[in-house]
Structure 1
Amino acid sequence: MQRVRLDTAYGHILLSDAMPRDDGLSVLDRAAQVARRYGLSHQLRSIEGIRGAQQG
């Protein structure tokens, strides 16, 4: 039970912290640029889906 409590608290902290989220969005932006450059439409759709889910 203690492990569940600790993991729940840790997960909550990660989700509420803007820094990892911003880092993740930055990584997605770079990946999208590469996908566009090389015509990787399937990967680009996946990236856009992830971003859309994060934005609400």
Structure 2
Amino acid sequence: KPTCRCALGFTGPLCEKRVCDGYCLNGGTCDMTLGNQPVCHCLAEYTGERCLH
């Protein structure tokens, strides 16, 4: 069965999902590492991996 190799920032069986969609909370912005991992940049009042705290 063929598999897709997704471009940076995409995932899913057909590369149809953006990795960052809904990942960061409380107004944080999301960027991708070269390893295709999401990283959040939180607003000043929030902290944590996904800006939860």
Is the pair's TM-score, using the shorter chain for normalization, greater than 0.5?
Answer: no
Higher share of residues assigned strand: 2
Higher share of residues assigned helix: 1
TM-score when normalising by structure 2: 0.26
* RCO comparison, higher one (Cα < 8 Å, 6+): 2
> Which structure has the larger Rg?
1
